[in-house]
Amino acid sequence: MVVRVAVNGYGTIGKRVADAVAKQPDMKVVGVAKTRPSFEARVAIQRGYPLFVAAGGKVEEFGAAGLPVAGTVPEMLEVADVVVDAAPDKVGRENALLYEAAKVRAVFQGGEKADIAETSFTAGANYSAAKGKRSVRVVSCNTTGIARAVAVLDRHYGVESWDATIVRRAADPGESKKGPINGILPTFKIPSHHGPDVRTIFPHLNVQTIAVVVPTTLMHVHVNRVRLARPAQDAPELAQAFRSARRFHVFEEWEHVDGTPQVMEFARDRGAARPDMMENVLWAHGIRVDGREAHFFQAIHQESIVVPENIDAIRAMFDLAPDAEASMAITDRTLGISRS
Amino acid sequence: MVVRVAVNGYGTIGKRVADAVAKQPDMKVVGVAKTRPSFEARVAIQRGYPLFVAAGGKVEEFGAAGLPVAGTVPEMLEVADVVVDAAPDKVGRENALLYEAAKVRAVFQGGEKADIAETSFTAGANYSAAKGKRSVRVVSCNTTGIARAVAVLDRHYGVESWDATIVRRAADPGESKKGPINGILPTFKIPSHHGPDVRTIFPHLNVQTIAVVVPTTLMHVHVNRVRLARPAQDAPELAQAFRSARRFHVFEEWEHVDGTPQVMEFARDRGAARPDMMENVLWAHGIRVDGREAHFFQAIHQESIVVPENIDAIRAMFDLAPDAEASMAITDRTLGISRS
Amino acid sequence: MVVRVAVNGYGTIGKRVADAVAKQPDMKVVGVAKTRPSFEARVAIQRGYPLFVAAGGKVEEFGAAGLPVAGTVPEMLEVADVVVDAAPDKVGRENALLYEAAKVRAVFQGGEKADIAETSFTAGANYSAAKGKRSVRVVSCNTTGIARAVAVLDRHYGVESWDATIVRRAADPGESKKGPINGILPTFKIPSHHGPDVRTIFPHLNVQTIAVVVPTTLMHVHVNRVRLARPAQDAPELAQAFRSARRFHVFEEWEHVDGTPQVMEFARDRGAARPDMMENVLWAHGIRVDGREAHFFQAIHQESIVVPENIDAIRAMFDLAPDAEASMAITDRTLGISRS
Amino acid sequence: MVVRVAVNGYGTIGKRVADAVAKQPDMKVVGVAKTRPSFEARVAIQRGYPLFVAAGGKVEEFGAAGLPVAGTVPEMLEVADVVVDAAPDKVGRENALLYEAAKVRAVFQGGEKADIAETSFTAGANYSAAKGKRSVRVVSCNTTGIARAVAVLDRHYGVESWDATIVRRAADPGESKKGPINGILPTFKIPSHHGPDVRTIFPHLNVQTIAVVVPTTLMHVHVNRVRLARPAQDAPELAQAFRSARRFHVFEEWEHVDGTPQVMEFARDRGAARPDMMENVLWAHGIRVDGREAHFFQAIHQESIVVPENIDAIRAMFDLAPDAEASMAITDRTLGISRS
């Protein structure tokens, strides 16, 4: 079976999900939807994705730009088995009605509230929860990053509590309207929403998050303070635990990766179709272990980390793979995610 | 008695200390030392500070620039009772020998190791430790910020443990060579040096700090997770504890201070001689209290927070005031630091 | 006669104009208007400015914040001889009707179109044009910067043509919502609006401007290519022409002012009530003269350069001084603007 | 014939040139040289490039990092027909002696002075000048960008004079030490070195450049004021002239490319092996034509624009193609540079 996937919203996440779907042996892109013509729409057409006009968009504008349009979103849904909703935050709520009416399954993103779907999802943590579901919500980039790391440490040591300071990038690299240009903005709500959001995956986890926004576009960085249930031996042991898991990349000190500028430089160097880091990024020399206390940094690429999770979500919904490992193995191989 | 104060090193800290000394009724500036002519040297002369050439500087260069020079550092020390060493990090170590030879007391900054002086110092925490001393080290900006806050919470509730994530500004506003321009750089050493440094003031405190560097110039921001010995009632009570202490400024939500850009805007608006924030800055709506757990943000103005501490250090060394409160009251009044 | 000045709009420009008015011997602040409570409103009250609620604002909100309100804008206009409109761009148009109805004279800012007032204005260029007028428009920061420089070179050499590339700061230091964080944004309209705007002051000038926006908050920088009517001797001669004019500050190479970070550091150092640069800033070593061709950089402090112009505009309207030089002398002395 | 190419210096330019060489039908990579292990060295090995230790590097360090080393630079030169010197600025001068001693031809970069090689080079401007030469210097990124544009307009209209303001990015995306973080730094030397450098390609061109440095990492932006020898009809005609030339990309207004953030987003989207823009980038709506006067913006990707030029330089030196068009056609096809 080849699942027919539509992507509604062709921005940072949508365009990446479309490209990822196109690489899967068991899925194909039947359409992507955008509201207005842009360089991104032009690239979509060049890639051969049928282009549909999203709600609020005008067909004439695409015509004026010389971009052929295949129809509107309801028409796109007619030819799809599942739609990945990558519309702006909160818009998914409206779209959900449309999807239900069209009897098309749906994958939502973490900008929507948890109750929009039957389950929230991170492949490495609760793959089976999405099996056979008609709607699934892939949690947001920071939540995915935390959930993945929790899953690893929980498996190896058990996790008693998880405190994270989330140093957030203020805008994506392709955005030019958002600031701040110079300054740090605390997210005054303590705890930030990320903690409760992680509990949509790990309901009983004692997790607390606090966030600040900083003037950079590349990646988020988490400062993690974890209390384990059983002691770890040392930092290299913890590094190895992460290295042996899927979707983690651990840099060594001799690699001279001083921070997110060099992480993204590596992403550009390794020559994937996009310069993305779909892995959680850690530094072996940025881990400290003291018995049951573990402290470590991880960097999260907000633009791409949820992409493989969207793919696995679809696979789980349509039962295209026996289990998480089987699905993730296909996803990772096709997307060029190797273990470090 | 009017203590004669020399300032060796006339950069970010040195020039502010000189201006602060000039405002004290019981101190006067007998000289400031710089290595090379610059706009800052020109302003020093306009302020009437005798200008001396620091080690490594050339008298001719000042002459060529038309800046009158009063002599070299050894000559400056001859007319001083105490020298505030505001030389670049680690240079103070060498200078210390000079000061001893000249039999001049010395105040060092936090860029030097603790053993450079008889005691480390933060006025609100251990004023009496500096009484009568010949050498005192004012701890660094971040350490001062933590020590002040510890002192307040310790007095009100007792402090069991203190975890801080320090989101550091990468350069000062007047620097143009340092980066990063776009990116986050973890300080891989965990814990960062700030924790141990706080213990030069509070030897028995259970304190842990982790740091990241971000591309901004205005202020550091601390994310604090504190475990109190006795429960606090609620966030307003904690806010009040800080408000009633010296050198804290607590913003209210209606003031629309979203982050460090607006904090520094306030500093510019209130019309002090310099747009500085010598206070720890908190947000009333950025405090969370849950029994013995307290979480809060504080912003630290790296350029000025240690300035009043340098003044109080001198006053303690020369026994110019009966106690911390008396000294801080004079300092705060003369420097325009009011309670919020 | 003491002219009673109201300031409608208390943001970046409005608050500076209020402070400047308060320092004039022949003017006084009878009120400032804001739409919502904020730290800036609190400072206004502390300064003793009667605080009025601007259109769209709610009196209750000020009450809830504990800020005493003196009334609304119409009430403010009743006690004023002139109002300085410092509302957001384009809002002045609506306000103009209000001012007319109240029979109050008005000074508008450069964000409004030229036809909002009887004349556009830059003190050093066309002071007399504002004499006795009921409405005057002070041109925008970049236009003021150009007009001042044109006036100087025109006086000394005559100006045949003026080409400027305007490298614009993207946001003010106290703003945190505007970007870009990383990138350069051309202003695609060529020429940019600044050129035509300069012609509201110098109607026959052959001036062309092109602009780009860059991620900084401190100052604009102009790259000027000027063709003079008569040859200049050399760069020092040109530097001297600027130095001998009011409202220019020329740095020397030995001052180590590498760019706008150090210019604003100087502004902070020199100890004015605000760290502003109301002068056009040039660098003696950033001037090149080749006969009738002159190339030079100038930096323009977008937050403050129009402040003295607003003061002089009022003085011209009410005929408080015999000529430009007399008015500017008072303004410059009271605002601490000295010749470099 | 397959030319054996060595790359000495494996940073921003070197790694791109190596990847480009690897894609040519008539060239192969026989080695790349680095001074120290890093993530970049690891990627080089994964790509199958023999890794040599550059002068100043230590073989043991590579061993400790587990990176197999093929030898030192002299050994690399033994197996090469030509070396591309991509060492840091000014180091090429020393290296040149080494290359001569090894009787290996050499391509230098624009960081070196013009007299390091027999000719300076930009493929679209003076391809034939490099034919059969033993040493060639590819001019720097900004100079290449200007030379390409001059060549196009010269062919169509003749160029009488060329004035460019170069708004320079301060650091590359993978650098984290360089600033400024917030500010604009004029390059006080007027004209900047770029103008004279363009004359190494067009000796008689009347060209003047002035530069400022701004806090961004993505691309440079040029503001060009050109006086043509013959009038152009309108902006679309000029846009078409650029579009029909190799190595230009012209965006349309409907593509919503507001500046360099979106240009680089396009580079990421189009899915080349690296997210590079080897083309000069223009905006159709950022061109103004008034008879013989043409004004336009162009953005220059400092990391990659010289890469195809290095390839063509090698092809010219070894006479692997009959003329510029033939060489550029191969280069552009293999590197994925299409006409816009």
- Which pLDDT tens digit goes with each residue over D242-299? 999 999 999 999 999 999 999 999 999 998 889 999 999 999 999 999 999 999 999 9
- Non-local (6+) Cβ contacts of B223 within 8 A are A165, A186, A210, A212, B164, B165, B167, B295, B297
Q: Residues C8-34: pLDDT tens digits?
A: 999 999 999 999 999 999 999 999 999
Q: Residues D136-157: pLDDT tens digits?
A: 999 999 999 999 999 999 999 9
Mean pLDDT check: name the lowest of A290-299, B263-272, C243-252, D67-76: B263-272
Q: Residues D124-134: pLDDT tens digits?
A: 999 999 999 99
Residues C72, C52: Cα–Cα separation, whole Å = 5
Residues D9, D4: Cα–Cα separation, whole Å = 16
Residues C97, C84: Cα–Cα separation, whole Å = 14
Whether residues C65 and B275 touch (CB distance < 8 A) is answered with no
Whether residues D225 and C183 touch (CB distance < 8 A) is answered with no
Q: Mutate which of D17, D34, D254 to test chain A, going by most A C-beta atoms within 10 A?
A: D254
Q: Residues D105-118: pLDDT tens digits?
A: 999 999 999 999 99
Residue B340: pLDDT band by 50, 70, 90 thresholds?
Answer: low
CB atoms < 10 A from the CB of B209, how many?
A: 24
Q: What is the mean pLDDT of residues B127-137?
A: 98
Residue A340 has a pLDDT of: 60
Residues B228, B292: Cα–Cα separation, whole Å = 5
Structure tokens at D120: 């300076």
Residue C89: pLDDT band by 50, 70, 90 thresholds?
Answer: confident
Residues A314, A306: Cα–Cα separation, whole Å = 13
Mean pLDDT check: name the lowest of A144-153, B55-64, B203-212: B55-64
> Checking phi first, is residue B94 left (phi over 0); if not, alpha (psi -120 to 50) or beta?
alpha
Structure tokens at A66: 């010389």
CB atoms < 10 A from the CB of A81, how many?
A: 18
Structure tokens at C89: 């761009």
| Rg from Cα positions in chain D | 20
Indicate if the pLDDT at residue A339 is higher than 90: no
Give which of C176, C179, C211 is closest to C192, Cα–Cα.
C211
Is the Cβ–Cβ distance between A243 and A339 less than 8 Å?
A: yes
Indicate if the pLDDT at residue C291 is higher than 90: yes
Residue C137: pLDDT band by 50, 70, 90 thresholds?
Answer: very high
Indicate if the pLDDT at residue C56 is higher than 90: no
Q: Residues D39-48: pLDDT tens digits?
A: 999 999 999 9
Q: Which residues on neighbouring strands pair with residue A32, listed in sequence order? A: A7, A51
Own/partner pairs, B252-257, CB within 8 angstroms, 24+ separation: B252/B284, B252/B285, B252/C65, B253/A188, B253/B283, B253/B284, B253/B285, B254/C37, B254/C38, B254/C61, B254/C64, B254/C65, B255/C37, B255/C38, B255/C39, B255/C42, B255/C65, B256/C36, B256/C37, B256/C38, B256/C39, B257/B283, B257/C39
CB atoms < 10 A from the CB of A64, how many?
A: 11
Q: Any chain C CB within 8 A of the CB of D217? A: yes
Residues C307, B270: Cα–Cα separation, whole Å = 18
- The bridge status of strand D293-300 relative to strand D220-228 is antiparallel
Whether residues C296 and D223 touch (CB distance < 8 A) is answered with no
Residues D148, C134: Cα–Cα separation, whole Å = 55
> The tokens 């509604």 sit on which residue?
A8
Structure tokens at C265: 């550091």
Indicate if the pLDDT at residue C276 is higher than 80: yes
- Multiple choice CATH, A141-300, 3.30.360.10, 3.40.50.10190, 3.40.50.620, 3.30.450.20: 3.30.360.10
C169 to chain A: closest CA residue: A181
Residue A86 has a pLDDT of: 97
Q: What is the mean pLDDT of residues C113-131?
A: 98
Q: Residues A182-232: pLDDT tens digits?
A: 999 999 999 999 999 999 999 999 999 999 999 999 999 999 999 999 999
Contact list, D299 vs chain C (CB under 8 Å) = 184
Residues B300, B216: Cα–Cα separation, whole Å = 13
Residues D68, D63: Cα–Cα separation, whole Å = 7
Residues B301, A115: Cα–Cα separation, whole Å = 43
> The tokens 């490992």 sit on which residue?
A325
| Rg from Cα positions in chain A | 20
Say if residue A319 is exposed, middle or buried (CB neighbours under 10 Å; 0-12, 13-18, 19+).
exposed
DSSP designation for B139: P
Residue D340 has a pLDDT of: 60
Whether residues A175 and C179 touch (CB distance < 8 A) is answered with yes
Give which of B169, C304, B178 is closest to D215, Cα–Cα.
B178
Task: Examine residue B74 and say whether the peptide bond preceding it is cis (omega within 30 degrees of 0).
Answer: no
Q: Give CA angle at B221 (B219, B227), nearest 5°.
A: 150
Residue B260: pLDDT band by 50, 70, 90 thresholds?
Answer: very high
Contact list, D165 vs chain C (CB under 8 Å) = 165, 167, 210, 223
Residue A272: pLDDT band by 50, 70, 90 thresholds?
Answer: confident
Nearest to D167 among C169, C214, C296 (CB): C214
Residue A111 has a pLDDT of: 95
Indicate if the pLDDT at residue C340 is higher than 70: no
Q: Any chain A CB within 8 A of the CB of D266? A: yes
Indicate if the pLDDT at residue B90 is higher than 90: no
Indicate if the pLDDT at residue B270 is higher than 80: yes
Q: From the CA of D190, how many Å to the nearest CA of chain C?
A: 6
Whether residues D216 and C186 touch (CB distance < 8 A) is answered with no
Q: Any chain D CB within 8 A of the CB of B217? A: yes
Is the Cβ–Cβ distance between C164 and C213 less than 8 Å?
A: no
Report helix angle D141-156 to D235-243, nearest 10: 120
Strand order in the sheet with C27-34: C71-72, C51-53, C27-34, C3-8, C82-85, C105-108, C135-138, C119-121
Q: Residues B14-34: pLDDT tens digits?
A: 999 999 999 999 999 999 999
C260 to chain B: closest CA residue: B174
Nearest to C274 among B173, B174, B268 (CB): B268
Fold classified for B3-139+306-335: Rossmann fold (3.40.50)
Amino acid identity, position D311: I
Residue B330 has a pLDDT of: 98
Give which of B317, B293, B297 is closest to B166, Cα–Cα.
B297
> The tokens 């509590």 sit on which residue?
A161
Task: Examine residue B180 and say whether the peptide bond preceding it is cis (omega within 30 degrees of 0).
Answer: yes
Whether residues B261 and A214 touch (CB distance < 8 A) is answered with no
Q: From the CA of D208, how many Å to the nearest CA of chain A?
A: 30
- Non-local (6+) Cβ contacts of C330 within 8 A are C24, C25, C26, C315, C321
Query: Residue B93: phi, psi to the nearest 5?
Result: -55, -45
Query: Residue C322: phi, psi to the nearest 5?
Result: -65, -35
> Half-sphere exposure (CA, 13 Å, Cβ side) for B184?
29
Residue C273 has a pLDDT of: 81
DSSP designation for D321: S
Residue D338 has a pLDDT of: 81
Residue B308: pLDDT band by 50, 70, 90 thresholds?
Answer: very high
Map out the domains of chain B as residue ranges: 3-139+306-335, 141-300
CB atoms < 10 A from the CB of C101, how many?
A: 10
Global pTM?
0.96
Residue A225 has a pLDDT of: 98
Amino acid identity, position D21: V
Q: Any chain A CB within 8 A of the CB of C261? A: no
- The bridge status of strand A185-186 relative to strand A207-214 is antiparallel
- Multiple choice CATH, C3-138+306-335, 3.30.1490.100, 3.40.50.720, 3.30.360.10, 2.60.220.30: 3.40.50.720
Q: From the CA of B216, how many Å to the nearest CA of chain D?
A: 6
Q: Any chain D CB within 8 A of the CB of A10? A: no
Query: Residue D28: phi, psi to the nearest 5?
Result: -145, 155
Rounded-to-5 percentages of helix, strand, coil across chain C: 35, 25, 40
Structure tokens at D94: 């020393």
Which residues of B are catalytically annotated? 141
Q: What is the mean pLDDT of residues D13-26?
A: 98
CA C173 to chain centre: 16
Q: How many residues does chain B have?
A: 340
Whether residues A181 and C181 touch (CB distance < 8 A) is answered with yes
Residue B60 has a pLDDT of: 94
Q: From the CA of B335, how many Å to the nearest CA of chain A?
A: 25
Structure tokens at A92: 């998914």
How high does pLDDT run on average in chain D? 96
